[in-house]
Amino acid sequence: MSVALSSAETTYWWVLIILGFVVVLAVAALLSLLVYLVTIIDRRVAEVRDTLRRITENTAATTLIPQTADGVDAVLAEGLQHHLFLGRALAAVPAAAAAPAAPAAPAAPESEVRR
């Protein structure tokens, strides 16, 4: 038994084969695009991970910040005490004693004094 196809059926099958081939190419192109995008996302996730690790390393010494702040507060308090002391001490000094004396006039040379 032989099965003969008419020319319309043959054309129909060729159109379906070509359409199937186009669908396979489209799926392959979309999968390639997906693989490319996943690669980019993976690379960027690795960059974020590395950045977060560097942040952890940079902030490892933050436990010293409160100790440093206490030291700075102590230095500032000491400076304020000196400022207040000097302000009271300068206020107690009379104005005349605090003003610098005027420089004395230069002495005349001896040769001019003898004439």
Segment (H or E) for 96: helix 95-98
Q: Is the dihedral of CA 9, 10, 15, 17 positive or negative?
A: positive
| pTM of the complete model beyond 0.85 | no
> CA 52, CA 45: separation in Å to the nearest integer?
11
Q: What's the pLDDT tens digit per position in 48-67?
A: 999 999 988 887 778 888 88
> CA 63, CA 60: separation in Å to the nearest integer?
7
pLDDT of residue 91: 81
pLDDT of residue 65: 83
Q: What angle do CA 86, 87, 93 make, to 5 degrees?
A: 85
DSSP secondary structure letter of residue 59: T
Torsion angles phi and psi, residue 57, rounded to 5: -65, -40
pLDDT of residue 66: 85
Q: What's the pLDDT tens digit per position in 14-44?
A: 999 999 999 999 999 999 999 999 999 999 9
Tokens of 71: 């030291």
pLDDT-derived band at 105, boundaries 50, 70, 90:
low
